[in-house]
Chains A and B, each alone.
Chain A
């Protein structure tokens, strides 16, 4: 009996991988590979996926994967693409698969360089909003007020989350998109679409992390959806500078619904939540103005 599924059935992620229970980054990889298919090569800097991909001699994905040092993902991928082309392989899609630390922080220079050169690669950042693989330290992707091992005071993280998408947009690249595993169909669609575009493409995946966000492993999909439904995380695409909001919400749920389910925001006061609601409202106003 064949079952009709809303996303492609073939799996390029194999069971037996080493992710924590309820890992959002694993779901992200699963959907990304469904959208990309074979003829894809992954380039992975230091991040959770260094471990999830498997220790030697094993591999948890059905495509080749090149591990590279932390700061180098975009540059390594640029070289890999050039090397494949030199071998006569024009069609293989080279995909960077990096965490937020490797994207927002240590890998930013190489990322900017590759985007500036408009390298023909797809750069994916699975953004779990802190250095999770080393045990939850603050990164440039950590939201304001969030607890991490390096922002343990009453205020949590003092600085707002770095707007990496705008940084990428300033590089005049053909495609930028945001996705999150609560919306697999949207993810698969965007990865398919990105594959068909030439030049430098950037996709950021908001990726819930049960140990890092301090939520139950069962809540990963729920939180991913709540991030979108509260407007805390907007699903959009920017094609050649043309901005399109993918979800027009008639009424956004209160941000508190998203925050209260995460232990990393447990210390927030009512005023804190109000402040964060105001930040989301302001951001949302901008999105709606842009389209």
Chain B
């Protein structure tokens, strides 16, 4: 008979959620990807500021978009004051 096999004393009474969502790589949602023309970039960091994924890294001094998470919303391309972000077709996976 298909009985529930578990030790109740070893099952916590509630499920507490403490692991980060960062293990969820949302880059696979993307159909277009941002391409930054670093020659034109003025390092104003507006793309960082308006990224809903918080996936623009500033640590190198240049804006680096983490393609593991970028969903391709294209806000960065829309807000860039010098139009240095271009959205290009995602290569087929």
Q: Measuring CB to CB, which residues of chain A are less than 8 angstroms from any residue of chain B?
A: 1, 3, 5-7, 9, 11, 13-19, 21-24, 26-27, 30, 54-60, 181, 184, 210, 216-222
Query: B53-89: contact bitstring with A at CB < 8 Å (1 yes, 0 no)?
Result: 1110010110000101101111101110000000100
Nearest A-chain residue to B48, judged by Cβ: A5
- Chain B nearest CB, measured from A13 CB (Å): 5
Of all chain B residues, the one with the shortest Cβ separation from A218 is B74
- Distance, CA A17 to CA B73, complexed state (A): 14
The smallest beta-carbon distance between B31 and chain A, in angstroms, is 9
Option from A3, A15, A210, A219 in Cβ contact (under 8 Å) with B22: A15
> In whole angstroms, how far apart are the Cα atoms of A7 and B50 in the complex?
11
Selected contact of A217 from candidates B48, B54, B74, CB within 8 Å:
B74
By beta carbon, the residue of chain B nearest A4 is B45
Contact: A58 with B78, CB < 8 Å?
A: no
In the complex the two chains form, is B69's CB within 8 Å of A216's CB? Answer: no
Beyond contacts A5-B48, A16-B24, A22-B74: 15 other A-B pairs, Cβ-Cβ < 8 A, are A3-B45, A5-B49, A14-B20, A14-B54, A16-B20, A16-B69, A18-B21, A21-B72, A54-B24, A57-B15, A57-B16, A59-B21, A60-B20, A184-B50, A218-B77
Complex CA distance for A138 and B71, rounded to whole angstroms: 28
B17 at the interface (CB under 8 A from A): yes
B19-A15 in contact (CB<8A): no
Chain B residues with Cβ below 8 Å from A15 are: 21-22, 26, 53-55, 66, 68-69
Q: Could you tell me the dominant secondary structure of chain A's interface residues?
A: loop
Residue on A nearest B61 in the bound complex, by CB: A1
Cα separation A16 to B69 with both chains bound (whole Å)? 6
Which B positions have Cβ atoms within 8 angstroms of A?
15-26, 29, 43, 45, 48-50, 52-55, 58, 60-61, 66, 68-69, 71-75, 77-79, 87
Q: Quick one: which of B15, B52, B68 contacts A22, CB cutoff 8 A?
A: B52
CB-nearest residue of chain A relative to B76?
A218
Which of A7, A19, A22, A219 touches B49 (beta carbons < 8 Å)? A7
Determine if B19 and A221 form an interchain contact, defined as CB atoms under 8 angstroms apart: no
Whether B22 lies near A16 (C-beta < 8 A) is yes
Q: A3-B45, A15-B53 are in contact. Are A22 and B75 (CB under 8 A)?
A: yes
B71 to chain A, nearest CB (A): 5
Residue of A21, A57, A216 ringed by the most chain B CB atoms within 10 A: A21
State the CA gap A220–B15 with chains docked (Å): 35
- List the 4 closest A-B pairs by CB distance, nearest first: A1-B61, A218-B74, A21-B73, A60-B21
Check if B52 sits within 8 Å of A30, measured CB to CB: yes
Residue of B nearest to A62 (CB): B20
Given A5-B58, A7-B49, A220-B75 in contact, is the A16-B15 Cβ separation under 8 Å? no
Q: 20 A–B contact pairs at CB < 8 A?
A: A1-B61, A3-B43, A5-B48, A14-B21, A15-B26, A16-B21, A17-B21, A18-B24, A21-B29, A21-B71, A21-B72, A26-B53, A57-B17, A58-B19, A59-B17, A59-B21, A217-B74, A220-B52, A221-B50, A221-B78
List residues of chain B with CB within 8 A of the CB of A218: 73-75, 77-78, 87
